[in-house]
Structure 1
Amino acid sequence: MIGIGLLTGATTVLFGFGGGFVAVPVVVWADAALGADAMRVATATSALVMVVNAGFATAVTPRRVLGALRGSGGLLLLLAVGAAVGALATRLAPAPLVRWAFVGYVALTIVDLLLRPGFLRPRAPVETAPAAPRPLPALLGAPIGAVAAFLGVGGSVMTVPAARRAGHPMRVATALANPLTLAIALPATAVSLVGAALPTAGGAHPHLVGLVDLGAAAALLVGALPVIAVLRRRPPRIPDRLYARAYVGLLALVAVAMLFSGA
């Protein structure tokens, strides 16, 4: 689990994934003894991991990059409202539905990125793009937040492609994904922590607080936080097109991992 945490730290900095897409399949596997409820625990635990990872990554992001979100208060508020609704829906929805929605969402995203122009094949050279991507329209906040919290994925898979298709470089689009993920993960985590733990014949699961597996979250964060600190201080120089292809490749690996997670 700590080793996977190292990976989530890298994906937080390089791809804007605060941990959700990587953490969900792993926590489903680690908590397979919970049966169908493992998916609910995974999405809740993922939200807590994203709060810490995305919050730390945001704190060490240059202020000039975060300046692109100036005036986005309405977007952030609606992201949070949508996330609270999505986290509540996860509690009520059948666990298999959440799992297959996760796989289907990732698969559709991969198809969209491969076939629709603007992501792998930018319309304009990234060198001519503005310094930071324009904020998303505020009205998109509620649906993005709801879907992201329901699946435990954070929202970067919606925001990064949108910024990329506007002609912005991957390094800027992924950096801005972290504060947007934080706005989603905070209310989702609050909803997951305050609810009742899963019942069993012998009582509540001792390693759960609400629906959050604190042991798994702690192990993931032990691995992730040092990596975030190092990569933010010394970010790797990756050619933009290779960067975009790696983003799609990571999504494909996550979809495969989820299919074989045994949930």
Structure 2
Amino acid sequence: MLFLLLALFGCLSGITTVLFGFGGGFVVVPLLYHLLRSDPDTGGSAMQIAVATSTCVMIVSAALATLKHRRAGNLKREYLWPLAAYIAVGAVFGAALVGALASEWLRWGFIFYLAFTLLDCLLRRGFLHHDGQAPARPLGPMKSVGCGVLIGTVASSLGVGGSVMSVPLLRRRGLGMTQATAMASPLTLPVALAATATYLMTASRDLGTGFVAYVDLSAFILLALGAWLGTRLAARWIGRIDDRKHAQVYLGLLALVLLSMLWS
């Protein structure tokens, strides 16, 4: 039953990665946290394991989603580089913080991150409505540096892809939801790669067989297989969702994850 649950959540993460730019962290982290927190062997590191395993799954789901969006013609190079390089720098720094922080502190950081993003998107103009008439505005050098490092640091320390920061950022630069969420996948890759490498090199605890540093290998395999299936299922819906409804569902999914983490 547990194996089936992990595969199903992996599939869900693949679907949400393709359609909404997030999935690895916002689906995998709450699930693994709930499963591990009551285990006496892993409970003390439940959030660290959830975060590290999540970043490994994100490598798979983000790479697959990037290929789908590239084939659909939704990626714009001017919004990917050099932002991706600064995100990678921030990801290394954020991942290094994980081993030094208590699991409960990481959980509350995750909750605050979600709540702030939801309020920002709901209360500040520019996210829910996009008329498609005004031309998209490129990111300036200073914004690329500042936003890139911040996105990478927050995302890797919480085990998420950073789409909750990059999608609203690109949305407010004039991109529609399809393009903004498409850009989130390649921008997630530097977070996932840099953070995973850092976790493997800096883990402070040996969890025994079935783990590499903080990464739960069996959970990773099942989640990654599910993510592969999810990206294939979601590909047919790329670009076919109404822009405003796309933005509303995006925020609704974030609210569900927030409630899940608060309930835990």
TM value normalised by structure 2: 0.88
Q: Within 5 A, what are the aligned runs for 1:207-222?
A: 207-222=210-225
Match for residue 3 of structure 2?
none
State whether structure 2 residue 18 is matched by structure 1 residue 10.
no
CA separation of 1:196 and 1:183: change in aligned 2, threshold 3 A: closer
State whether structure 2 residue 148 is matched by structure 1 residue 141.
yes
Q: Within 5 A, what are the aligned runs for 1:171-190?
A: 171-190=178-197
Match for residue 57 of structure 1?
65
State whether structure 2 residue 97 is matched by structure 1 residue 89.
yes
- Give the total of aligned pairs: 252
The one-letter code matched in structure 2 to 1:56 is L
State whether structure 2 residue 260 is matched by structure 1 residue 257.
yes
Tell me the distance in 1 between the aligned counterparts of 2:177 and 2:137. Answer: 10
Q: Within 5 A, what are the aligned runs for 1:1-263?
A: 1-32=6-37, 33=39, 34-62=42-70, 64-66=73-75, 68-70=76-78, 72-122=80-130, 125-126=131-132, 128-130=133-135, 134-135=138-139, 137-139=143-145, 140-196=147-203, 198-199=205-206, 204-235=207-238, 237-261=240-264
User: Is the 8 Å Cα contact of residues 13 and 22 (structure 2) preserved in structure 1?
Assistant: yes
Provide Cα deviations, 1:51-108, integer angstroms capped at 9, x if missing partner: 1110111123236432x22485432221111101100101111221111010011011
The one-letter code matched in structure 2 to 1:23 is V
What CA RMSD, in Å, does the superposition of the two structures yield over aligned residues?
2.0
The one-letter code matched in structure 2 to 1:177 is A
Tell me the distance in 2 between the aligned counterparts of 1:232 and 1:195. Answer: 36
Provide Cα deviations, 1:185-241, integer angstroms capped at 9, x if missing partner: 101011112334634xxxx33221011111111111111112212322453722111
Identity between Structure 1 and Structure 2 (%): 45
Tell me the distance in 2 between the aligned counterparts of 1:213 and 1:157. Answer: 25
TM value normalised by structure 1: 0.89
Once the 2 structures are TM-superposed, how far is the Cα of residue 121 of structure 1 from its aligned partner?
2.9
CA separation of 1:45 and 1:76: change in aligned 2, threshold 3 A: same
User: Is the 8 Å Cα contact of residues 160 and 173 (structure 1) preserved in structure 2?
Assistant: yes
User: Is the 8 Å Cα contact of residues 92 and 194 (structure 2) preserved in structure 1?
Assistant: yes
The one-letter code matched in structure 1 to 2:173 is A
CA separation of 1:236 and 1:208: change in aligned 2, threshold 3 A: same
Q: Secondary structure at the match of 2:125?
A: coil
Q: Unaligned regions of 5+ residues in structure 1, if any?
A: none
CA separation of 1:71 and 1:107: change in aligned 2, threshold 3 A: closer
User: Is the 8 Å Cα contact of residues 3 and 223 (structure 1) preserved in structure 2?
Assistant: yes
